[in-house]
Amino acid sequence: MKTDDLISQLTKDLKPVKAPELPIVFALKWGLVSLAIVVFIIAGFRPRLDLLQSLEHFDTWIQLGAFALLLFASLGLVAWASTPGREGFKKYLKSIFALLSLLAMVQVVRLLGMSRELLSEGLAILGSRCALVATTVGAVTGFFVAWKARQGASMHPLWSGIVLGFAAVGAGGVAITLHCASQNGMHIFVWHFLLPLFVMGVAGSVVGRKILRW
Amino acid sequence: MKVQGSPSLRQSQDEAELSQLMRKAQTGDAGAYRQLLLRIRGMLAKYIENSFARFGWGAGSGQEDVLQEVLLAIHVKRHTYDPAQFFLPWMYAIARYKLIDHFRKNKKSYAALSLEDELEHIENLAILDSTAEVDLEKLLGVLSEKQRAVLSLVKIEGLSIEEAAKKTGYSESDIKVTVHRALKTLQEKVKEDTRENR
């Protein structure tokens, strides 16, 4: 086909389109929808028995806030990368890793004051179940948000995929904080944060490269 | 010495007209859209031709196919253009994405420098080329003597990397890295000027 013919075809029956949402609007809108899905899933299945009491503790809110922040910030980056020509992607990506490092440091500081017995206990208690719940709930919201991100034009499918994985960890982290009653810092660090982060990051990089290409 | 180029896309007539046409196209104005596609066709063809030449591919090795792929991608992804942003960087970013796809599919090797960085530099030169006048000597003043000399040979006199290496006595990889760094410095200078002018 000649380029002139292609241009004629493209301009025939042109339909209006809606301009893209700002990254902050995308992050807030779909982040809130993701959180609603998470709360719905956890409430429908099995919230922790001491949920109401735990919400009286500042520590629970810190965890919920940190994971929600990771979710919103990651979604913002995914939207940012989905608009061709928008500058500042690398800086934004660095700030996501800075946020992750900060979250990891906060968790590590909590570990410093713990005894050796508590540390090994934290590694043992029903950890795989927590990691499974976090990654499963994260995957559900991750796929939902990936579907929305696919409608953009991601200029960095690999990194967008990895960051989508981080967003899933944020959603999964909120879920697991509402589901798991353990307050052991080691348990939270390994099974709620580190392992899901690794699994979802790798899964996001594989899935993102495939589904975000256009 | 004067060349076509501008420290500010905001002052560019091309940028203003194309972004206005694109805004109209997003509302469903087929006439404006046709005008837009016809105008960007030449700009994209030149960008693709320069990119092919930079990577050692001659004319007739699929440039028209890539041009059509880029036009098609611009059509399919036209909803991702944010009217609050510049149009030319959006358009060239899509072209770069499609070129990378094309080079990778055809297993073109691009050792030493990142393909994406290289295309971004060609893209920045294309954007500079489509805007108003700027004093080249003033712009080149931010470069070191070596960078200026090498850049003039490769980008202004049009020598190949190999020819520039022979002429200056530097190695080919040294020439590539010098050009890469010089373009990056220019790109930062242009961005800095753009921010100042906003």
Residue B109 has pLDDT above 60, yes or no: no
Residues B54 and B148 in one domain: no
Q: CB within 8 A of A166, min separation 6: which ones?
A: A70, A74, A96, A100, A197, A200, A201, A204
pLDDT band at B4 (very low <50, low <70, confident <90, very high): very low
Question: What is the full per-residue pLDDT of chain A (214 aa) written as tens digits?
Answer: 788 889 988 988 888 998 888 899 999 999 999 899 888 888 877 788 888 888 888 888 988 998 999 999 999 999 999 888 888 888 899 999 999 998 888 888 888 888 888 888 877 776 777 778 888 888 888 888 888 888 888 888 899 999 999 999 899 888 888 888 887 888 888 888 888 888 888 998 998 888 888 8
- The answer to whether position A195 is within a domain reads yes
Q: Distance, in angstroms, between B140 CA and closest chain A CA?
A: 24
Q: Distance, in angstroms, between A91 CA and closest chain B CA?
A: 15
Of residues B123 and B42, the one with the higher pLDDT is B42
Number of domains within chain A = 1
What pLDDT shows up at residue B113? 46
| B120-145 pLDDT, tens digit each | 666 666 666 655 445 566 677 778 88
Residues 34-93 of B with CB under 8 A from A: 34, 37-38, 41, 64, 67-68, 71-73, 75-83, 85-86, 88-93
Which chain A residues have a beta carbon less than 8 Å from that of B38? Answer: 7
Number of domains within chain B = 2
Torsion of CA A182, A52, A197, A87, to 10 degrees: -150
Residue after which a domain boundary falls, among B136, B160, B179: B136
What whole-number percentage of chain B has pLDDT above 70? 68
Enter the tokens of residue A98.
């800075």
The reply to whether residue A20 touches residue B81, judged by beta carbons under 8 angstroms, is yes
Residues B174 and B85 in one domain: no
Residues B29 and B113 in one domain: yes
Residues B73 and B42 in one domain: yes
The reply to whether residue A11 touches residue B81, judged by beta carbons under 8 angstroms, is no
Residues B100 and B186 in one domain: no
CA distance linking residue B195 with residue B198, whole number of Å: 5
Residues B40 and B114 in one domain: yes
Chain A residues with CB under 8 Å of a chain B CB are 1, 3, 6-8, 10-20, 22, 82-87, 151-153, 155, 214
Residues B90 and B108 in one domain: yes
Residue B112 has pLDDT above 50, yes or no: no
Residues B60 and B81 in one domain: yes
What pLDDT shows up at residue A71? 92
- The answer to whether position A206 is within a domain reads yes
Q: Among A8, A16, A151, whose Cβ lies nearest the Cβ of B26?
A: A16
CA distance linking residue B72 with residue B68, whole number of Å: 6
- The answer to whether position A136 is within a domain reads yes
Residues B82 and B154 in one domain: no
Q: Among A7, A18, A87, whose Cβ lies nearest the Cβ of B37?
A: A7
Torsional sign, CA A180, A185, A186, A191 = positive
Here the ipTM equals 0.78
pLDDT band at B20 (very low <50, low <70, confident <90, very high): very high
What pLDDT shows up at residue B3? 34
pLDDT band at B41 (very low <50, low <70, confident <90, very high): very high
Q: Among A10, A22, A155, whose Cβ lies nearest the Cβ of B97?
A: A155
- The answer to whether position A45 is within a domain reads yes
Interface probe with B: pick from A1, A2, A3, most Cβ of B within 10 Å: A3
- The answer to whether position A2 is within a domain reads no
CB pairs under 8 A between A and B: 87
* Mean pLDDT confidence for B142-166: 78
Q: Distance, in angstroms, between A79 CA and closest chain B CA?
A: 10
Residues B110 and B31 in one domain: yes
What pLDDT shows up at residue A191? 84
pLDDT band at B49 (very low <50, low <70, confident <90, very high): confident
Q: Among A7, A82, A151, whose Cβ lies nearest the Cβ of B71?
A: A7
The DSSP result for chain A, as a single string, is --HHHHHHHHHTT----PPPPPHHHHHHHHHHHHHHHHHHHHHHS---TTHHHHTTSHHHHHHHHHHHHHHHHHHHHHHHHTSTT-S-HHHHHHHHHHHHHHHHHHHHHHHHT--HHHHHHHHHTTHHHHHHHHHHHHHHHHHHHHHHHTTS--S-HHHHHHHHHHHHHHHHHHHHHHH-----HHHIIIIIIIHHHHHHHHHHHHHHHHHS--
The reply to whether residue B29 touches residue A14, judged by beta carbons under 8 angstroms, is yes
Which chain B residues have a beta carbon less than 8 Å from that of A155? Answer: 93, 97
DSSP run (H or E) holding B82: none
Residues B21 and B101 in one domain: yes
Q: CB within 8 A of B18, min separation 6: which ones?
A: B36, B39, B40, B87, B88, B91
Q: Distance, in angstroms, between B147 CA and closest chain A CA?
A: 26
8 A C-beta contact, residue A170 and residue A68: yes
A158: containing domain: 21-83+93-211
Q: Among A12, A17, A83, whose Cβ lies nearest the Cβ of B26?
A: A17
8 A C-beta contact, residue B120 and residue B179: no
What pLDDT shows up at residue B5? 40
Enter the tokens of residue B145.
């003597």
- The answer to whether position A157 is within a domain reads yes
8 A C-beta contact, residue A28 and residue B92: no
Q: CB within 8 A of B152, min separation 6: which ones?
A: none
8 A C-beta contact, residue B53 and residue B99: no
Enter the tokens of residue B50.
């320069």
What pLDDT shows up at residue B127? 65
- The answer to whether position A133 is within a domain reads yes
* Mean pLDDT confidence for B12-35: 90
Which chain A residues have a beta carbon less than 8 Å from that of B19? Answer: none
CATH number of the domain that residue B150 is part of: 1.10.10.10
B191: containing domain: 141-198
| B59-85 pLDDT, tens digit each | 666 888 899 999 999 999 999 999 888
